[in-house]
Structure 1
Amino acid sequence: MTLEWLGYLAATCTTLSFVPQAIKTIRSRDTHGISLWMYLIFTFGIVCWFGYGIFLNSWPMIVSNAITFLLATTILGLKLKYR
């Protein structure tokens, strides 16, 4: 039995966890409490996980990291714009 469903569940949970922060940041434009370095390093890590997912041909990793990358770069972009 494959545990791929566990990968999809984990990917869904970790990706959805960024949605409230992205919505709050987009609406408020308040990025004061967000660490620039954390989001820079985190976004780089997401790119690495995405590449690793491609290497493994793991769709949960590929899809979730692509979506998380979009959310994280949105927050990062707002952090850079409104600092």
Structure 2
Amino acid sequence: MYDFVFWIGIAAALFITVANVPQVVKIVKSGDVKSISVLTYSALVLGNALWLVYGVLKQDVPILVANAISTLLCTAILLLKLFPKLIASVQDKTMKNN
């Protein structure tokens, strides 16, 4: 039973973590942050950060890793919303690397 529960947790962590990647890519490609909610992403950053602290305190590596990545992705989205000039900077660097 433990293995099944463990893998359910891993799958959940993977899906929740990866869920933010398309939004980051879309923002960087389009430069459009009009529909991004500051309140939603502020809550997501705070929630993920608290889960990260929980993972550290419980020494639960899957929770720790998933929420560290999710916190970074949600923070990136929030920063791109709050500071739209960052998008142009990221787009310039991306174009130079291609």
Unmatched 5+ stretches in structure 1: none
Q: Specify the code of the residue in structure 1 equivalent to 2:6.
A: E
CA–CA distance in structure 1, aligned partners of residues 30 and 47 of structure 2? 26
Structure with larger Rg? 2
**What is the total number of aligned residue pairs between the two structures?**
83
Please report the TM-score for the alignment, with normalisation by the length of structure 2. 0.78
Please report the TM-score for the alignment, with normalisation by the length of structure 1. 0.91
Per-residue CA shift, 1:27-56, capped at 9, x if unaligned?
A: 112110010111111101110000011112
Counterpart for residue 63 of structure 1? 65
Counterpart for residue 9 of structure 1? 11
Higher relative contact order (Cα pairs below 8 Å, separated by 6+ residues): 1
Runs of 4+, deviation exceeding 6 Å: none
CA–CA distance in structure 1, aligned partners of residues 57 and 6 of structure 2? 16
